[in-house]
Amino acid sequence: MRSHCPALLGFFSRSTARCALTHAHGLAGALTRPLATRAPGPPRPIPPLPPSRAPARRLPPPPPPELCSMASRRMETKPVITCLKTLLIIYSFVFWITGVILLAVGVWGKLTLGTYISLIAENSTNAPYVLIGTGTTIVVFGLFGCFATCRGSPWMLKLYAMFLSLVFLAELVAGISGFVFRHEIKDTFLRTYTDAMQNYNGNDERSRAVDHVQRSLSCCGVQNYTNWSTSPYFLDHGIPPSCCMNETDCNPQDLHNLTVAATKVNQKGCYDLVTSFMETNMGIIAGVAFGIAFSQVKWRLTE
């Protein structure tokens, strides 16, 4: 066994050397050969990339033209509605102010004109209460109109429009009636004031109304102080002290004598003063009523 080992080692050494020599010759030949050059020519085109397999993203379709026109109309209508609401609120506030004016006129008429109205007819004493009730109703509905406008409730606005129509008709009828029957009111006052003088006793309501008129307007009698001479009161008491220019300077003896009383009592009659006073103040009331009615007509025509 030991005799064969050197022979085997020699054989493997020679084989390894021959393999190494062969590889060395091959490598040297590769290094000594010239590099292959590509013939000149146009560059090769870059091949396109393969299409992506992901699905393409689609854009949403444009809105229909009807929708666009509706949106534009809505944008144009909104300022108009806001403007109309503002105008309606302003008008409701003005309407509320007129209600306050009518309410004040009714209270003033009750306190100031109540005496004069009671001399025209007993049933006419309700006139101040009518003005007070009308003014209060207008004040309430004026606030209701502002509330309905702010809420934008259709049925509230319709109810408010109906109320405006009714108030307009009532004021128009009242104003026309007062203008048409103004002469009858004068005749009625002349008749009732004469009756109040004939039935004067100084104690009842009408007698106190006569005294109030004669003191406040500084007048005496219907046409003048001599009208009292036909009154039953004159036979017992003479001319009422309410006719005196200075009541502390009047005594019953002077008031029984028409000649002496002429220097003690007011000379003007009450009929002309009362009618002119009532015409002036009723003109104010009628002017307020016609002004409100005209404003309501103008508003209804512009709606």
pLDDT digits (tens, 9 = 90+) for 44-101: 666 665 555 555 566 666 656 555 555 455 545 667 667 777 777 787 787 788 788 8
Can you give the pLDDT at residue 135?
A: 81
Specify the pLDDT at position 6. Answer: 43
* pTM for this predicted structure: 0.47
Domain edges within the chain: 78-180+283-302, 187-278
DSSP 4: T
| Whether the Cβ atoms of residue 299 and residue 91 lie closer than 8 Å to each other | yes
Radius of gyration of the chain from its Cα atoms, rounded to whole angstroms: 57
124: how many CB neighbours lie within 10 A of its CB? 16
**What local confidence, expressed as pLDDT, does residue 21 receive?**
47
- Cα 23 to Cα 217: distance, rounded to the nearest angstrom: 153
Query: What is the full per-residue pLDDT of the chain (303 aa) written as tens digits?
Result: 444 444 434 444 454 445 444 544 454 454 444 444 444 556 666 666 555 555 556 666 665 655 555 545 554 566 766 777 777 778 778 778 878 887 887 787 777 666 666 665 555 556 677 778 878 888 888 888 888 878 877 888 788 778 877 877 776 776 676 667 667 767 777 888 888 888 888 788 888 888 888 888 888 988 888 889 888 888 888 888 889 988 888 888 888 888 888 888 988 888 888 777 766 666 555 555 555 555 544 444 444
pLDDT of residue 11: 42
CATH 1.10.1450.10 fits 187-278, yes or no: yes
Count, residues in the chain: 303
Neighbouring-strand partners of residue 10:
none
Report the C-alpha gap between 169 and 261 in whole angstroms: 52
Helix 270-302 to helix 154-180 angle (10° resolution) is 150
